[in-house]
C-alpha cells in the first residue's frame, strides 16, 4: 500500500520533528504560544467563507454501518462583497485537539491550530455571477481546513471553492449536531483494496455535493455549472481522477501528490488533467501510477514535479509548522515558497480550463519558478 505508507509518512512529519516544550527557569514567565498566519490571497477580490452540512439519505455511511445516511460538512470559500468583518476560524479548539492527538504532536497547547489566522470573512455576502466552481478534497486523515491557504487564494481570484470533509476519514469532522466524528476509516486503511474503495466513496461524495450545492447555498445560483473542476491532495488528488471518471460535470482535474487508484479505460480519457507532485513521482520513481495514467490521458495534460517539495508542501502543513515548534527539514521548500508554487500552478491550470485564459507558466519551465520540472522531459530523478 504505497499510498497509505506515503500518507502516514507525511502525516507524522510534524510529530517526528516536534520538539518538547523546554523547561522554564524559576520565576520565568510562560512564553506566548506561537500563532500560525496564512499568507494573504493574491487575487483582487476579498474572500468570504461559510459552512454547510448536507445529508445524503440515498446511501448509508460507508464507514459506519450504524448510520443509514451519509452526512458531509462542506466549507465554501468565495469572492465576497465586503472586505471587513470577523475572520473565520481555521478550525475549532476541539478539532485542533483531536487532529494534533491523531498526528501525535505534543509539546504545544491542544488548541494551537484553532488560533491560526485566516483571511476569509465568516458568512460574508457573495459577489459576482457565473462563477466557476472548484471542488477541493484533502488528504486521508486530514480535514479540508488544511487546504485553506489554497482555497482562499482561489476565491480571491474569482472562484467558488467547495471543500469537502469526507466524514470518518479525518481525525476531526464537526457534524451538524455538534458531535466531532473521528477517523473510523483508519481502522481499515491497511486492508487490500482500501485505496480503491476510498476514492470510490469520495467520488460519490463529490457527485452528491454537485447535486445539492445549487439549492443548498444561498449563493448557489451564482455558480456556472458548466465550469466545474476538482483538485485534491494525496487521497484527495486520487479522488479527483475517480470523480472525473464517474461524473462528467467535472471538466478538469488536479492531483497534488496522490497515488492514483481508479483505473482509466484503455480507450483513454480526454478531459484536462494536471499532476503536481514531489520527486517521488518522476518517471521511474517510487510511485509509477502517474506514469501508468499519463499514457491514457489523451487530452490536455501536464505532469509537473517540484524540486524540494515533500508530501505536505501542497497543504498548509509547512505554514503551520512554526506554531507547532517544528523545525524545517533540510532541503525542503520553505512554507511560503511551497504555498506560492502550489497557488501559482493550480490557479494557472484552472484559469486556462475554466476561464479560457492563456497561462504561459504551464507551457514551459519558468525562470521565476525554477523548482518546477516538466515530465517526462525536464524533471529528471532527484
State what percent of residues in the chain have pLDDT above 90.
85
Strands (E), 236-300: 252-256, 273-277
Radius of gyration of the chain (CA): 20
Residue 382 is predicted with a pLDDT of 40
**CATH code reported for the domain at 2-15+44-375:** 3.40.50.1820
Residue 29 scores a pLDDT above 50: no
What is the number of other CB atoms lying within 10 angstroms of the CB of residue 228?
A: 23
Rounded Cα distance between 255 and 238, Å, is: 6
Tens of pLDDT, residues 339-358? 999 999 999 999 999 999 99
Contact by Cβ (8 Å): 220, 214: yes
Query: Residue 19: its pLDDT value, please?
Result: 35
Residues 240-268 pLDDT 10s: 999 999 999 999 999 999 999 999 999 99
Query: What 8-state DSSP symbol labels residue 33?
Result: P
Rounded Cα–Cα distance for residues 46 and 157 (Å): 9
CB atoms within 10 A of CB 146: 25
Calculate the alpha carbon distances from 253 to 34, 135, 346 in Å: 36, 9, 10
Alpha-carbon span 321 to 316, nearest angstrom: 9
Residue spans of alpha helices (H) in 80-193: 93-102, 148-156
Q: How far apart are CA 34 and CA 321, in angstroms?
A: 10
d(CA 124, CA 86): 9
Helices (H), 295-334: 317-320
- pLDDT tens digits along 220-229: 999 999 999 9
Q: Identify the CA nearest to 312 among candidates 283, 278, 273, 288.
A: 278
What is the residue-averaged pLDDT of the chain?
A: 91
Residue 237 confidence (pLDDT)? 98
The residue ranges of every structural domain in the chain are 2-15+44-375
User: Model's pTM, two decimal places?
Assistant: 0.92
Cell numbers placing 96: 485542533
Which regions of the chain does DSSP assign to beta strands (E)? Answer: 47-56, 70-79, 121-122, 131-137, 160-165, 173-174, 180-181, 223-233, 252-256, 273-277, 301-306, 372-375
Rounded to whole angstroms, how far apart are CA atoms 5 and 199?
A: 16
Are the C-beta atoms of 137 and 152 separated by less than 8 Å?
no
> What integer is the mean pLDDT of 13-40?
56
User: Looking at the predicted structure, is the pLDDT value of residue 8 above 60?
Assistant: no
Cell numbers found for residue 1: 500500500
Separation of alpha carbons 217 and 322, rounded Å: 36
Is the N-terminal amide bond of 278 cis, ω within 30° of 0? no
Q: How far apart are CA 231 and CA 314, in angstroms?
A: 11
Check whether 6 has a pLDDT greater than 70.
Answer: no
Q: Are 259 and 281 in contact (CB under 8 A)?
A: no
The model's pLDDT over 115-148, given as tens digits with 9 standing for 90+, comes to 999 999 999 999 999 999 999 999 999 999 999 9
Burial code (b: 16+ CB inside 10 Å, e: under 16) for 311-335 equals bbbbbbbbbbbebbbbeeeeebbeb
> In what helix (H) or strand (E) does residue 189 lie, and over which residues does it extend?
none
How far is it, in rounded angstroms, from Cα 53 to Cα 245?
A: 26
Contact 6, 311 (CB under 8 A): yes
Helix (H) or strand (E) holding 244: helix 235-246
Amino acid at each position: 500500500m504505497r499510498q497509505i505508507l506515503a500518507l502516514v509518512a507525511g502525516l507524522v512529519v510534524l510529530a517526528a520533528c516536534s520538539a518538547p516544550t523546554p523547561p522554564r527557569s524559576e520565576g520565568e514567565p510562560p512564553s506566548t504560544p506561537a500563532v500560525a498566519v496564512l499568507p494573504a490571497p493574491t487575487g483582487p477580490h476579498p474572500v468570504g467563507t461559510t459552512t454547510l452540512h448536507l445529508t445524503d439519505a440515498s446511501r448509508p455511511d460507508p464507514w459506519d454501518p450504524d448510520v443509514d445516511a451519509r452526512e458531509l460538512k462542506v466549507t465554501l470559500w468565495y469572492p465576497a462583497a465586503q472586505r471587513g468583518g470577523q475572520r473565520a476560524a481555521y478550525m475549532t479548539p476541539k478539532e485542533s485537539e483531536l487532529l494534533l492527538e491523531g498526528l501525535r504532536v505534543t509539546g504545544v497547547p491542544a488548541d494551537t491550530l484553532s488560533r491560526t489566522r485566516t483571511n476569509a470573512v465568516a458568512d460574508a455576502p457573495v459577489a459576482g455571477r457565473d462563477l466557476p466552481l472548484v471542488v477541493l478534497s484533502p488528504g486521508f486523515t486530514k480535514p479540508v481546513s488544511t487546504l485553506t491557504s489554497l482555497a482562499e487564494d482561489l476565491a480571491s481570484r474569482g472562484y467558488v471553492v467547495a471543500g469537502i470533509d469526507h466524514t470518518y476519514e479525518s481525525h476531526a469532522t464537526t457534524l451538524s449536531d455538534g458531535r466531532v466524528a473521528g477517523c473510523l476509516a483508519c481502522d481499515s486503511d491497511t486492508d487490500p483494496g482500501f485505496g480503491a474503495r476510498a476514492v470510490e466513496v469520495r467520488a460519490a461524495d463529490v457527485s452528491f455535493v454537485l447535486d445539492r450545492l445549487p439549492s443548498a447555498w444561498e449563493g448557489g445560483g451564482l455558480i456556472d455549472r458548466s465550469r466545474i473542476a476538482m483538485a485534491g491532495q494525496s487521497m484527495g488528488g486520487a479522488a479527483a481522477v475517480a470523480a472525473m471518471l464517474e461524473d462528467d460535470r467535472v471538466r478538469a482535474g488536479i492531483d497534488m501528490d496522490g497515488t492514483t487508484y481508479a483505473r482509466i479505460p484503455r480507450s483513454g480519457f480526454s478531459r484536462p488533467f494536471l499532476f503536481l507532485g514531489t520527486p517521488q513521482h518522476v518517471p521511474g520513481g517510487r510511485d509509477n501510477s502517474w506514469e501508468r495514467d499519463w499514457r491514457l490521458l489523451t487530452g490536455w495534460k501536464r505532469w509537473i514535479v517540484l524540486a524540494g517539495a515533500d508530501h505536505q508542501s501542497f497543504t498548509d502543513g509547512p505554514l503551520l509548522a512554526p506554531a507547532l515548534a517544528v523545525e524545517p527539514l533540510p532541503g525542503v521548500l520553505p512554507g511560503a515558497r511551497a504555498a506560492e508554487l502550489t497557488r501559482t500552478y493550480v490557479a494557472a491550470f484552472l484559469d486556462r480550463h475554466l476561464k479560457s485564459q492563456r497561462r504561459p507558466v504551464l507551457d514551459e519551465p519558468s525562470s521565476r519558478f525554477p523548482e518546477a520540472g516538466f515530465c517526462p522531459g525536464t524533471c529528471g530523478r532527484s
